[in-house]
């Protein structure tokens, strides 16, 4: 020890990044409650506003290192949501109601085609347009699950929303992986163009099958009424997340399909642990705040117009696709409109797919990064409001709406 200065705080105080992140999360929690209690808006709207403000006003503090450190928190939130969503997806229901599967595929194909064509029409390169269109297919599993729990929504539209969100996540991951293979070929790497997408798809499916089987064998040995059994699932999800990073496989595809395999090991699967949703809700708040940090004024200048176009075309395609075919799966016109509007959320999955491309090809990723970040800024504020409205419009939100 050299003196008393080591025992007491220095002046002026110099709090580190953890201080500012903690302060942003406290602000996000308060903003979420203000939205819920006074503005009658979903909590994620408040989280998103605080994240965008923190990224804009705290630019001298929010550096590249801090943004990179939040990636693991985004991955964790998304991993929990994807695994839960996979667990909720009923393959028997899809086999019995083929029109639901056909509606999902048609809506996703229409979204990809319309967004891709429109972005090329306004001047985007074919590669960026195809990748952005593939990302636009996705519906945020984290926001959808958060809103379902927060609003205590239940019914035909809600169940179809969960199913279409899961299927959209699969479609988006596959489209972006295949488009990345085409990107390899444009850069002259024909071997990677053929082998990389094949490795991602086959490897992710194989790992999902193994994880689903093994994790069920372990989890089935725990008592069904044990409140701590959810910790086993937390460990399984985090271990699988780590494996996808080590093996460089598709995290979204692996976690979602692992949840599907896990669920279908039993004829009568167990009820989803309530504690798991509580842990996920905390990570969702962290994720939504974190997604607002990287956005800059330069991103708006580079990709703002394209992002607005993407959001508008995406909304038109999803609503049109569901309304045109949803009635064949047993929905009324009112329910079709509600479901088409409810598919609006974009969040962590879109960010993850975008950053994976940007990591491989920074040149292409710069424009894609700007478009997706601006689109997320719009959708993270507007989409939860639309989804909440749609579930109310369908009459599937319980009277007190999660404690209001």
Domains of the chain: 17-268+276-394 (1.20.1530.20)
Q: Two tokens at 394? A: 């369908």
182-241 pLDDT, tens digit each: 888 877 777 888 898 999 999 999 999 999 998 888 877 776 566 666 777 788 889 999
Contact call for residues 157 and 367 (beta carbons, < 8 A): no
Q: How far does CA 288 lie from the centroid of its chain?
A: 10
User: Given pLDDT bands bounded at 50, 70 and 90, which one contains residue 260?
Assistant: very high
H or E stretch at 130: helix 126-136
User: Given pLDDT bands bounded at 50, 70 and 90, which one contains residue 404?
Assistant: very low
Q: What pLDDT is recorded for position 311? A: 97
Say yes or no to pLDDT of 274 above 60. no
* Cα gap 376→53, rounded to integer Å: 14
Q: What pLDDT is recorded for position 402? A: 44
153 phi, psi to nearest 5 deg = -80, 145
User: Given pLDDT bands bounded at 50, 70 and 90, which one contains residue 63?
Assistant: low
305-359 pLDDT, tens digit each: 999 999 999 999 999 999 999 888 889 999 999 999 999 999 889 999 999 888 8
| Percent of the chain residues past pLDDT 90, beyond the cut | 53
When pLDDT is averaged across residues 243-272 and rounded to a whole number, the result is 85
When pLDDT is averaged across residues 377-395 and rounded to a whole number, the result is 95
Q: What pLDDT is recorded for position 15? A: 67
Using DSSP, state whether 72 is helix, strand or coil. Answer: helix
Tokens 């985007």 belong to: 124
* Cα gap 107→9, rounded to integer Å: 58
Q: What pLDDT is recorded for position 401? A: 53
Q: What pLDDT is recorded for position 67? A: 73
Using DSSP, state whether 22 is helix, strand or coil. Answer: helix
Say yes or no to pLDDT of 13 above 80. no
- Longest CA pairwise span in the chain (Å): 78
Tokens 């979420």 belong to: 32
Q: Provide the whole-model pTM.
A: 0.90
How high is the mean pLDDT of the chain?
86
42 phi, psi to nearest 5 deg = -65, 150
110-147 pLDDT, tens digit each: 999 999 999 999 999 999 999 999 999 999 999 999 99
Contact call for residues 124 and 132 (beta carbons, < 8 A): yes
Identify which of 5, 111, 189 has the alpha carbon closest to the alpha carbon of residue 375.
111
User: Given pLDDT bands bounded at 50, 70 and 90, which one contains residue 277?
Assistant: low
Q: How many residues does the chain have?
A: 404
Contact call for residues 280 and 73 (beta carbons, < 8 A): no
| Percent of the chain residues past pLDDT 70, beyond the cut | 87
17-47 pLDDT, tens digit each: 667 777 778 889 899 999 999 999 999 999 9
Q: What pLDDT is recorded for position 403? A: 43
């Amino acid at each position: 020890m050299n003196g008393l200065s080591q025992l007491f705080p220095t002046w002026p105080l110099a709090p580190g990044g953890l201080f500012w992140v903690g302060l942003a999360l406290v602000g996000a929690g308060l903003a979420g409650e203000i939205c819920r209690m006074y503005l009658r808006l979903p909590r994620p709207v408040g989280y998103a506003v605080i994240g965008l403000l923190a990224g804009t006003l705290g630019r001298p503090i929010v550096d590249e290192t801090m943004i990179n450190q939040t990636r693991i928190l985004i991955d964790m939130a998304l991993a929990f949501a994807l695994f839960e969503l996979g667990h909720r997806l009923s393959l028997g229901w899809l086999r019995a109601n083929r029109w639901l599967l056909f509606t999902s595929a048609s809506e996703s194909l229409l979204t990809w085609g319309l967004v891709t064509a429109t972005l090329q029409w306004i001047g985007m390169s074919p590669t960026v347009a195809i990748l952005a269109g593939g990302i636009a297919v996705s519906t945020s599993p984290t926001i959808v699950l958060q809103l379902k729990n927060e609003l205590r929504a239940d019914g035909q539209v809600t169940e179809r929303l969960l199913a279409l969100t899961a299927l959209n996540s699969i479609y988006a991951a596959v489209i972006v992986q295949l488009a990345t293979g085409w990107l390899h070929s444009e850069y002259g790497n024909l071997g990677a163009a053929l082998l990389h997408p094949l490795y991602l798809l086959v490897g992710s499916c194989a790992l999902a099958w193994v994880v689903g089987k093994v994790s069920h064998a372990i989890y089935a040995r725990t008592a069904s009424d044990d409140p701590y059994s959810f910790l086993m699932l937390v460990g399984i999800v985090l271990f699988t997340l780590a494996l996808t990073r080590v093996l460089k496989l598709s995290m979204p595809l692996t976690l979602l399909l692992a949840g599907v395999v896990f669920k279908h090991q039993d004829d009568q699967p167990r009820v989803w642990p309530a504690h798991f949703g509580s842990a996920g809700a905390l990570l969702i708040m962290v994720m939504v705040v974190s997604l607002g940090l990287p956005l800059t004024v330069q991103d708006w200048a580079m990709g703002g117009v394209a992002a607005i176009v993407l959001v508008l075309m995406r909304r038109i395609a999803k609503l049109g696709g569901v309304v045109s075919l949803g009635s064949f799966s047993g929905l009324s016109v009112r329910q079709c409109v509600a479901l088409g509007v409810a598919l609006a959320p974009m969040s962590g999955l879109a960010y993850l797919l975008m950053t994976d491309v940007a990591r491989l090809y920074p040149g292409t990723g710069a424009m894609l990064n700007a478009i997706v970040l601006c689109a997320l800024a719009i959708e993270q504020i507007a989409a939860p409001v639309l989804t909440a409205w749609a579930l109310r419009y369908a009459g599937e939100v319980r009277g007190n709406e999660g404690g209001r």
